[in-house]
Structure 1
Amino acid sequence: MDNHLGSDHFLSLPRPDILVGPPTGVPDTTTLAAHDFDVDTRTGFMPPQPALSRLPPQWETWESTLDEAISLKLMLGDTPGLAEGEKTKSESWRNRVRNLPVLPVDDLKKSELTLRRAHHVLGWIMHFYIHSLPIDAPVVIPRPISLPMLRVSEQLQLPPLLTYSDDVLYNWEYKSAPGTADRAPALDNLRCQTLFTGTTDEEEFYLSSARIELKGVDALELMQVIMDEAFVGDDIAMRRIASYLTSMSTVIHELRTLLLSARDGCNPDIFYHRIRPWFRGEDSDPLKRKWVFEGIEEDPTLRVPTELSGPSAGQSSLVHALDIFLGVDQYSHSSSLAGSSSTTATKSAFLDRMQQYMPRHHRTFLNHLSSNPRPLRSIVTGANDPALLEAYNTAVLALKEFRDAHMIIVTLYIIGPSRKPAPSAGTSVIRPDFEKDYGNVESLKGTGGTELVKFLKDVRNRTVGAVLHDS
């Protein structure tokens, strides 16, 4: 078999029903069959159909517990001026969680779909439990949630908390039944399955990412045809690659537009004070509380988690794929850049960490993409073709503009609200101003646990640094 990423080995229909076992070593990505990637020709990293919306009856207790948390409209435990009735309500719910049975997960392992749903439901319950706790309470995740969550996560090779895939990839359904001729879900025909707050602001925040993922299919298709042309490698192929790169620039600009469209439906203050705190992982908790998984010592097959970052845009396989394909990742991760080795190492470590939060088949896809023996950047540098060079640089700069848009969103949704005084309970904005009390804007933590502003500036600037110049 040819060792290249041709059309037979790049995109394919997914295998969501594949049986999964315990974690294994990294496979030989040069010989993988296409179905191993779980990347669909119509929806990319999103599944072609909505994720399972309810577990089988054996695990109905989990579903009903999550339903109750949502219906009770639990409030964040660190809400200033929180009424005693709200405190009592949330503690009663948490007490019921502590008294749930520890349900077995063996039968969940028969299907990827049920494992995904279990991770989603348990993750949501866990975040409701942790973030409704009083601000001075230790974070001890009770056995009925911690043990099945750890076991399910071990099977999926994911950290035991909510991830981007729980919030975005596997958290959608149709508003109305699609037409039989629809190739992919329409961008305006989506709604979310699960929300913390029930607000349209929260839903639009998730859906803006879902729309980017769906539109990203066009970029994935262009990657495929470019690599097919690279395998041919003649002058005609180079001209076609230049044309496809121009098209990719257009797609990336469309992704930028979709990213900025989050402003149309999600209020920054509501997002920052009412929605974002529910996402926090252990490493983005401003109070630095340690998460204790009760009962973990009872199962010798389980390990104490070391990755506990919340959902982050850095966990989008699509953005990583664009970086890898354009060669921005390798260039940006190079320690040869003057005066930047430590920052570069930090950036590389963060992006490598974020891949651990992706569905494992998507990690395999990125590994396969990285193993391409004819990387695009090397083709461009070796071609001595001005048109190809210009087209490549235009695509890189389009990615830089996408990151500019990300900075705009961060400024609007995080930096701006963090500087405002936070109203107390009973108003539309209910969060305390943690950044005022615990740090400045430059040290703001993203939900992925990194210093948000500094990191994003570095990523953006290093994307520009990947632009090639005439030799």
Structure 2
Amino acid sequence: MTSPPSRYPKSQRPLLSLKDYDISPENGFLPSEPPLRRLENPYFEPWELILDNLSQHISDCSIRDKIHEVLPEAIAVPWVAVAEYLELNPVLSCASVVLWNWQSLVDFENDNDAMFLDNLSTLHTFTGTIDESWFFLITVAIEAEGGNAIRAILRGMKAAENDDIKAMVDELSMIADIIERINRIFERMYEKCDPNAFYWHIRSYFAGGENMEKAGLPYGILYKGVDDEGIEDEEEGSDEYKARFRRYAGGSAGQSSIIQVLDIGLGVTHYPTKSDVAEDRAGTKSSTQPSNQQKRIIPPTPPSEATSHQPPSVLLSPQTPANSYLMRMREYMPGPHRRFLEDLGASCKIREYVSKVLENNLNINMDGSYIYGETSTNSRYSQEDCRDLHMVYNGCVDLLKEFRNHHIQMVTRYIIIPARRGPPANAKTHSLATATATNAPRVKHPQLSINKNITSTVSGMLGTPPPTPPSYGFSREPSLSPRLGSGSYGTATSNSDVLKSPISPSLKPAKYAKLARKVEDDDIVRGTGGTDAISFLKQSRDETASTRI
């Protein structure tokens, strides 16, 4: 999905109006009011009934196993239609599980603390666990800081336009406070989300179909009723056959608009990773759409043809000032939010202003550092003003670097370590049905509060892995299903079809959720977005640090 170009030439861009981009002045990219808890039209009641008991259906394996390769028509067709309306890719994304998946447990209209983390709850989860709910809510609380951050950045842009150094210092101080709060919220992940529970039980539901060959999705996912017309005439494994499958990234922190806003506001530039460049040169970067009447060609693509059909936006060199992964993650954001990032990136010059003020008003040492005790002959501002501007800007960058350090630590604890260690030893004896205390059916107006002294449903004490980790529902495995062939692309046209259960209760679901698997020491641990998680995050952290002036 390609976003339309910015609506304004660079010389004519006005100060951005949030309402034009469906952004809340208070909540940022979150909706200004809590999302609808339930679709009220009776037509949609079958879908709601499945959601009511989704975690139980997953627990007892009553959702048919073929759904992980072929998305049934009853789901695929409306999902694609809704996604096109919202201008994002039809796959689980940060928007679906975070932006539109929360409720406040207090009086939203009158309580000033309605968006505080401890006053929030999720609407839907896959597992029914506190751990999964808390994982989503941490991001909701971070996004809730977005309104203040965006307004401060826009005011900073105005200060730069007016050459108002004191106003710029004030706005950067505000941004620093916001990033500090975001970091403190992020650190609370450990309170109620257990690493083993997350990796072995929850994370698989966030995966997409990109770079997931080892997870059992060699081609991606077929959206029945959308991309499968005439597929029975194509040879399985052929390029034409593979081109019918969509290869979307899974849910990823890279899809968070507020983090990209902070990058843009502070002038942080991200470059393609080594793997991005290698894939671009080899022509093996995954496309997200199926060909379906020549929409796009899905890899593998012969290297000799790699540059003949790739869109210019992905033909990046190491010097290109755009990280292809982060730019692709914008395809998973609602269209108005994506356009806001594009217009903000084209008009925000805060870093340039700070650099220019310091260069024009302070003398410079041989090593490039600024001399605070001296002002240049053309100085307009006092050295105190320049020092404050310099320190508060670099302070913002340092705090954003701290956020990325936290992210690296969290990915290491929640993904890398469990992946290297392998599954808990007693994984065969502890089923999901008994592991989840929050597995009760979803009610029409849920008021489940997570702001209680609750024992973690799968991990013993909250945030503390138990001495002997329990298993997380690994007591079954789907039966081997026939390979895709004529007439076997998923026949669901009703809820009863979706809930067929051909699964043998005597097997384990290791093959059902291969993203949750032991990874050898020499193998890459990929994030749900499809990247080499640690390499990408370290590069992003280092690029942030290099933004200091």
* 1:242 matched to 2:180: no
* 1:160 matched to 2:90: yes
Amino acid at match of 1:193: L
* 1:40 matched to 2:24: yes
Map 1:6-21 → 2, pairs under 5 A:
none
Query: Are residues 173 and 304 of structure 1, via their aligned partners in 2, closer, same or farther at CA, if it must alter by over 3 Å?
Result: farther
* 2:5 counterpart (13, 23, 26): 26
SS of structure 2 residue aligned to 1:191: strand
Map 1:401-412 → 2, pairs under 5 A:
401-412=402-413
* 1:63 counterpart (48, 63, 83): 48
CA distance in 2, matches of 1:327, 1:367: 13
SS of structure 2 residue aligned to 1:229: helix
CA distance in 1, matches of 2:103, 2:131: 17
Map 1:35-434 → 2, pairs under 5 A:
35-55=19-39, 56-72=41-57, 74-75=58-59, 86-87=60-61, 89-91=62-64, 129-130=67-68, 139-178=69-108, 180=110, 182=112, 185-233=115-163, 237-285=164-212, 286-290=215-219, 291-297=221-227, 306=246, 308-329=248-269, 332-333=270-271, 348-372=323-347, 375-384=349-358, 385-423=386-424, 424-427=427-430, 428-430=470-472
Q: Compute the displacement of 1:387 (Å).
A: 3.2
Structure 2 counterpart of 1:124: none
Q: Compute the displacement of 1:156 (Å).
A: 1.6
The 8 Å contact of residues 46 and 169 in structure 1, kept in 2 or not, is answered as yes
* 1:458 matched to 2:442: no
Q: Compute the displacement of 1:148 (Å).
A: 1.6
The 8 Å contact of residues 114 and 120 in structure 2, kept in 1 or not, is answered as no
Query: Are residues 342 and 444 of structure 1, via their aligned partners in 2, closer, same or farther at CA, if it must alter by over 3 Å?
Result: farther
SS of structure 2 residue aligned to 1:283: coil
Query: Are residues 304 and 377 of structure 1, via their aligned partners in 2, closer, same or farther at CA, if it must alter by over 3 Å?
Result: farther
CA distance in 2, matches of 1:212, 1:150: 28
Q: Compute the displacement of 1:66 (Å).
A: 2.7
The 8 Å contact of residues 208 and 528 in structure 2, kept in 1 or not, is answered as yes
Q: Compute the displacement of 1:440 (Å).
A: 3.8
Tell me the percent identity.
Answer: 30
Q: Which range moves more in the overlay, 377-386 or 444-453?
A: 377-386
**1:39-74 deviations in whole A, cap 9, x for unaligned?**
1111111112111122222222222233343343x1
Q: Compute the displacement of 1:445 (Å).
A: 0.8
Amino acid at match of 2:101: N
**1:393-444 deviations in whole A, cap 9, x for unaligned?**
1111111011001111111111111122313343343465868755547611
Q: Compute the displacement of 1:380 (Å).
A: 1.2
5+ residue gaps in structure 2?
231-242, 279-315, 359-385, 431-469, 475-509
CA distance in 2, matches of 1:344, 1:254: 33
Query: Are residues 435 and 345 of structure 1, via their aligned partners in 2, closer, same or farther at CA, if it must alter by over 3 Å?
Result: farther
SS of structure 2 residue aligned to 1:50: coil
CA distance in 2, matches of 1:346, 1:444: 26
**1:245-273 deviations in whole A, cap 9, x for unaligned?**
23322321221111111101111110111
**1:317-349 deviations in whole A, cap 9, x for unaligned?**
0000000111103xx3399xxx99856769710
Query: Are residues 434 and 213 of structure 1, via their aligned partners in 2, closer, same or farther at CA, if it must alter by over 3 Å?
Result: closer
Amino acid at match of 1:360: G
Amino acid at match of 1:416: I
CA RMSD of aligned residues (A): 3.0
SS of structure 2 residue aligned to 1:371: helix
Query: Are residues 174 and 305 of structure 1, via their aligned partners in 2, closer, same or farther at CA, if it must alter by over 3 Å?
Result: farther
SS of structure 2 residue aligned to 1:180: coil
5+ residue gaps in structure 1?
1-21, 76-85, 96-128, 131-138
Amino acid at match of 1:28: R
The 8 Å contact of residues 284 and 310 in structure 1, kept in 2 or not, is answered as no
Query: Are residues 297 and 355 of structure 1, via their aligned partners in 2, closer, same or farther at CA, if it must alter by over 3 Å?
Result: closer
SS of structure 1 residue aligned to 2:210: helix
Q: Compute the displacement of 1:169 (Å).
A: 0.7
The 8 Å contact of residues 238 and 388 in structure 1, kept in 2 or not, is answered as yes
CA distance in 2, matches of 1:466, 1:23: 28
CA distance in 1, matches of 2:522, 2:52: 36
* Bigger Cα Rg: 2
Query: Are residues 213 and 33 of structure 1, via their aligned partners in 2, closer, same or farther at CA, if it must alter by over 3 Å?
Result: closer
Amino acid at match of 2:209: E
Aligned residues: 381
The 8 Å contact of residues 160 and 305 in structure 1, kept in 2 or not, is answered as no
The 8 Å contact of residues 216 and 255 in structure 1, kept in 2 or not, is answered as no
Q: Compute the displacement of 1:242 (Å).
A: 2.1
Query: Are residues 456 and 441 of structure 1, via their aligned partners in 2, closer, same or farther at CA, if it must alter by over 3 Å?
Result: farther
CA distance in 2, matches of 1:159, 1:37: 18
**1:128-171 deviations in whole A, cap 9, x for unaligned?**
x42xxxxxxxx111111112212221222211111101111100
Q: Which range moves more in the overlay, 431-440 or 52-61?
A: 431-440
The 8 Å contact of residues 317 and 362 in structure 1, kept in 2 or not, is answered as yes
CA distance in 2, matches of 1:305, 1:365: 30
The 8 Å contact of residues 325 and 376 in structure 1, kept in 2 or not, is answered as yes
Q: Which has the higher contact order (CA 8 A, sep 6+)?
A: 2
Query: Are residues 173 and 266 of structure 1, via their aligned partners in 2, closer, same or farther at CA, if it must alter by over 3 Å?
Result: same
SS of structure 2 residue aligned to 1:309: coil
Q: Compute the displacement of 1:299 (Å).
A: 7.9
Structure 2 counterpart of 1:107: none
Q: Compute the displacement of 1:389 (Å).
A: 2.3
The 8 Å contact of residues 23 and 157 in structure 1, kept in 2 or not, is answered as no
